[in-house]
Amino acid sequence: MPFVFLTLVNKNPNLLRVQFIVLILGVGLMLIKFLAHLLTQSNAILSDALESIINVAAGAFALYSLWLSQKPKDLDHPYGHGKIEFISIGFEGGMIVLAAFYILFEAVHSFIKPQEIKQLDMGIYLIAFSGLLNFIMGKYLVKIGTANKAGVMIADGKHLITDTYTSLGLIVGLILVKVTNFLWLDGVIALGMGALILYTGYGLIRKSIAGLMDEADEEILKELLPMLNLNRRKEWIDIHNLRVVKYGSNYHIDAHVTLPYYWNLEKAHEEVSAIDYLVANKFHKDIELFIHADPCIPSCCAICNISDCQVRTSPFQQTIEWTHANVLKNEKHSISA
């Protein structure tokens, strides 16, 4: 019977406060960008302003999903509410893709029917100010989100940073338009921004699908496996059928550990608890760990390093390092594996 080690993440009102402030600032920046478009009639600036609508809508959804993801587990949601973060990320990505297609449409239309661009100086100043503020907010969101393993905040922060880069490119382009008076450059800039925004949206949708489909989390596996190999005991013959699923800021890990078949339940429980303690110390309160104890079989003898084993059927040959390739398989390790 598996031994269960359970930890819960407490609600963090500071995260909600930060996300709310970013949402309010986002509304202000959106208004500034639309003001810049009204003054200049630039399609490139319009593309930046349209993306700001996405920032605000995504920020509002992020705030809601962040609140929901921090709700404790209940009978209807035994794994918590953290999956809402992936839905939020997908929603943001979808809206970005829609905005990108509209931006591309307007850019093409500007080549067919160009229009005069006015007051570029003021437009450049307004876009520069909003871009700088976006960068500051984005960096802060990524920092707070990474510290608290809040995927929705990280996604929102990266989106704002990407928005800053597009704003920087936009400023350079508008300066070129002003210097050369080549109005067609405005459409070219809008096309480039539309393509970049489309790529950003695709990345967010891809991440959302991966999370909802419980794709293996490579990041945590890179931290978990070296730690297990470094601290493994000779009695832990192998660890297999390892699965990692992310629920908001929590990780749920299932694993099977192969132990000597002749141990009693108390001894097996002690070793499973040692693995629990090891992982909990590494990841603090971010892990919900379920470990199932498996009995060893004769083919395990070749990789079992217990020197005083009285029931060994074949000599020890080598220790198999636990790697991404063998711990994820639902089978005991062996020399031929």
CATH code where residue 249 lies: 3.30.70.1350
Q: pLDDT-derived band of residue 263, with 50, 70 and 90 as boundaries? A: very high
How many CB atoms neighbour CB 180 within 10 A? 10
Per-residue pLDDT for 257 more than 90? yes
Q: Do residues 303 and 223 both lie within one domain?
A: yes
What confidence tens digit (pLDDT) does each residue in 128-140 have?
Answer: 898 898 899 888 8
pLDDT range class, residue 259, cuts 50, 70, 90: very high
Domain boundary among 212, 231, 248: 212
* pLDDT given for residue 240 in this prediction: 92
Domain contains 204: yes
User: Which of 10-19, 110-119, 139-148 has the weakest average pLDDT?
Assistant: 10-19
Question: Is the domain of 180 the same as that of 278?
Answer: no
227 shares a domain with 163:
no
What is the rounded average pLDDT of the residues 302-308?
90
Query: How far apart, in whole angstroms, are the C-alpha atoms of residue 45 and residue 126?
Result: 10
Same-domain pairing of 144 and 160: yes
Decide if 86 is inside a domain. yes
Residue 279 belongs to domain spanning: 218-327
Indicate the residue among 212, 236, 268 that finishes a domain.
212
In this structure, is residue 77 part of a structural domain? yes
What domain count does the chain have? Answer: 2
Q: Which residues of 250-280 are buried (b: 16+ CB within 10 A; e: fewer)?
A: bbbbebbbbbbeebeeeebeebbeebbebbe
- 206 and 228 share one domain: no
The pLDDT value recorded for residue 195 is 84
pLDDT band at 78 (very low <50, low <70, confident <90, very high): low
**Span 233-254, average pLDDT:** 80
The letter for the amino acid at 198 is L
In a domain, 337, yes or no: no
pLDDT exceeds 50 at position 127: yes
Q: Which residue has the higher pLDDT, 149 or 144?
A: 144
Q: Which position has the higher pLDDT, 28 or 86?
A: 28
In this structure, the answer to whether residues 207 and 224 fall within a common structural domain is no
Residue 50 shares a structural domain with residue 184: yes
φ/ψ of 332, rounded to 5, equals -65, 150
Q: Residues 251-257: what's their mean pLDDT?
A: 84
Picking from 212, 228, 263, the residue at the C-terminal end of a domain is: 212
What pLDDT is recorded for position 294? 92
Q: Is residue 41 part of a domain?
A: yes
Same domain, residue pair 144 and 247: no
The whole-number pLDDT of residue 214 equals 58
Angle at 59 between CA 55 and CA 62, to 5 degrees: 140
Do residue 253 and residue 280 come from a single domain? yes
Look up the CATH number of the domain holding residue 80. 1.20.1510.10
17-22 average pLDDT score: 81
Per-residue pLDDT for 303 more than 90? yes
Binning pLDDT at 50, 70 and 90, where does residue 15 land? confident
Q: Among 150-154, 223-227, 272-276, where is mean pLDDT lowest?
A: 150-154
Residue 6 pLDDT grade (very low, low, confident, very high; cuts 50, 70, 90): very low
**Are 157 and 232 part of one and the same domain?**
no
Q: How far apart are CA 325 and CA 247, in angstroms?
A: 24
- Residue 322 and residue 222 share a domain: yes
179/287 same-domain check: no
Sheet architecture: strand order including 287-295: 3-5, 287-295, 250-259, 238-247
Higher pLDDT, 248 or 177: 177
Question: What string of DSSP letters covers 234-269?
Answer: TT--EEEEEEEEEETTEEEEEEEEEE-TT--HHHHH
Q: How far apart are CA 322 and CA 243, in angstroms?
A: 14
Distance CA 307, CA 260 (A): 12
Calculate ∠ Cα 146-150-156, nearest 5°. Answer: 85
In-domain check, residue 185: yes
Average pLDDT, stretch 120-124?
85
Identity of the amino acid at 255? A
Query: Could you tell me the pLDDT band of residue 296, with boundaries at 50, 70 and 90?
Result: very high
Examine residue 262 and state whether it is found in any structural domain, yes or no: yes
Element (H, E) at 294: strand 287-295
333 lies in a domain? no
Structure tokens at 217: 């989390």
pLDDT computed for residue 5 by the predictor: 28
